[in-house]
A = this chain, B = another copy of it.
Amino acid sequence: MTEIEIGRGKRGRRAWAFDDIAIVPSRRTRDPRDVNTDWSIDAYGFKLPVLAAPMDSVVSPDTAIQIGQLGGLGVLDLEGLWTRYEDPTAQLAQIAKASPLEATALLQKLYAEPIKAELIRDRIAQVRAAGVTVAGALSPQRTAEFAETVIKSGVDLFVIRGTTVSAEHVSKSAEPLNLKEFIYKLDVPVIVGGAATYTAALHLMRTGAAGVLVGFGGGAASTTRKVLGIHAPMATAVADVAGARRDYMDESGGRYVHVIADGGLGTSGDIVKAISCGADAVMLGSVLAAAKEAPGQGWHWGAEAYHQDLPRGLKVEIGTKASLEQILLGSAADASGTTNLIGALKRAMATTGYSDLKEFQRVEVVAAPYQIS
């Protein structure tokens, strides 16, 4: 552990971002056609190690279905506009048109509308009817309130996602969610996060979670570092949580908890690096918000952006780049690393000699911060 003395009264660790590292080929190369990117969690298998982030700019019931059909997993945000409004088309259009100055207040207003249990049921049913794996996300704060509705509606995977989610939430004024108990009682596998350190992740693993989200999400649109001083450089965060997975596997007698990088993934190169640091899959936000089908219509925002008294995210312009299929499977529209994400991942694996994702977690990396030009 590279510990640093910040000053006489404080020590800290050196942490690395995806931009700080790169992968390097070695003595063997491979045919990209021989590479596979299959990934499975619990009973559910996927051709692509990609989860679409439960954000209103990324996942609508329609895109959830489409992503499922392409081989990934679209996670429904069960606290988003689709469970607050019968038809959120007008609200999405309003957000797309709002100027940067108005955006925060507008988002706060639109998301003040209560969540309706029947809309949760309807949205889940719609995705389920399409025959793809169904996943829905709640924040820890609302999990107790809506979990039963969600389960009864028939999700395959239950996602509990917040900026920071811990195994032990302490509150004097509200009965907090007991994650361990909750997961134990539940029939469906749970993916939970964000967490960004070895210790935090290890405790989440001990709750019985099937997967852990690494990072604090909403990279492109987040100002958490400026507002809260909280930041987890992703290369280090993923590698730390992968270390926790290894140690927990030992301690639990073989339970493998999936590590899912969630945040800071702006290009196919970042996805490659996430897996090289130990991620089993990635949760994508902004790169999928750039799809023609994306509900955000060229804009991207997360739950931090509409926090009622401490917004710490922005509505950011992403533009519209290509179809979901082209973004995920190609062919690439240009050389910017934002289309044909899986083609790029396969080529990176082939160039460094690996044929499956699990092996590829062992690829050699160098620490080499970007040059300023």
Residues of A participating in the B interface, judged by any CB pair closer than 8 Å: 1-2, 4-10, 12-17, 19-31, 33-34, 104, 163-174, 176, 195-200, 202-203, 223, 225-233, 235-246, 267-273, 276-278, 304-305, 308-314, 330-337, 340, 343-344, 347-348, 351-353, 364-368, 370-372
Structural contact, B26 and A197, CB atoms closer than 8 A: yes
Contact across chains for A7 and B238 when beta carbons are under 8 A apart:
yes
Contact A6 B227 (CB under 8 A): no
Assess whether A169 is in contact with B367, with CB atoms less than 8 Å apart: no
A19-B371, A311-B334 given; A164·B29 CB < 8 A: yes
- Residue of A10, A196, A311 with most partner-chain B CB within 10 A: A10
Contact between chains at B335 and A227 (CB < 8 Å): yes
Q: List 7 A-B contacts (CB under 8 A).
A: A7-B278, A25-B195, A29-B166, A34-B171, A164-B351, A229-B273, A305-B335
A246 to B8, CA, bound (A): 10
Closest Cβ neighbor of A166 among chain B residues: B29
Q: Across the two chains, which residue of chain B brings its CB closest to A365?
A: B12
Kindly report how many copies of this chain are found in the complex they form together.
Answer: 4
From the candidates B8, B15, B164, B305, name the one contacting A240 in the complex (CB within 8 A).
Answer: B8
B7 to A236, Cβ gap below 8 A? yes
Contact between B203 and A16 (Cβ–Cβ < 8 Å)?
no
Contact B28 A340 (CB under 8 A): no
Complex Cα–Cα for A229 and B24 (A): 9
A136 to chain B, nearest CB (A): 22
The residues of B that contact A347 with a CB separation of less than 8 Å are 228, 310
Contact partner, A353, options B14, B166, B334, Cβ 8 Å: B166
Report which of B12, B17, B202 forms a contact with A371, defined as CB distance below 8 A.
B17
Query: When chains A and B are docked, how far (Å) is the Cα of A304 from the Cα of B336?
Result: 12
With A34-B173, A196-B25 already in contact, the answer to whether A16 and B368 are too (CB < 8 A) is: yes
A194 → B minimal CB distance (Å): 9
- A344-B225 in contact (CB<8A): no
Nearest B residue (CB) for A244: B8
Instruction: Evaluate contact between A17 and B232: CB separation under 8 angstroms.
Output: no
Q: How far is the CB of A198 from chain B (nearest CB, A)?
A: 5
Q: State in angstroms the CA–CA spacing of A246 and B33 once bound together.
A: 36
Tell me whether A368 and B311 are in contact (CB under 8 A).
Answer: no
A29 to B8 CA separation, bound complex (whole angstroms): 23
The answer on a CB contact under 8 Å between A197 and B17 is: no
Residue of B nearest to A22 (CB): B231
**A29 contact set on B, CB distance < 8 A:** 164-166, 168-170
Contacting pair A27 B243 (CB below 8 A): no
* Besides the known contacts A26-B166, A227-B336, 11 further A-B residue pairs in the complex with CB atoms under 8 A apart: A6-B367, A7-B242, A9-B242, A25-B197, A30-B170, A228-B348, A229-B270, A230-B351, A305-B335, A311-B334, A312-B332
A6 and B310 contact, CB distance less than 8 A = no
Bound form: Cα–Cα A195–B202 in Å: 39
Q: Which residues of B contact A340 (CB under 8 A)?
A: 309-310
Q: Contact at A228–B268, with CB atoms within 8 Å?
A: yes
Which residue of chain B has the shortest Cβ distance to A340 in the bound complex? B310
- Contact A239 B8, CB 8 Å, known A22-B230, A29-B170, A347-B228: yes
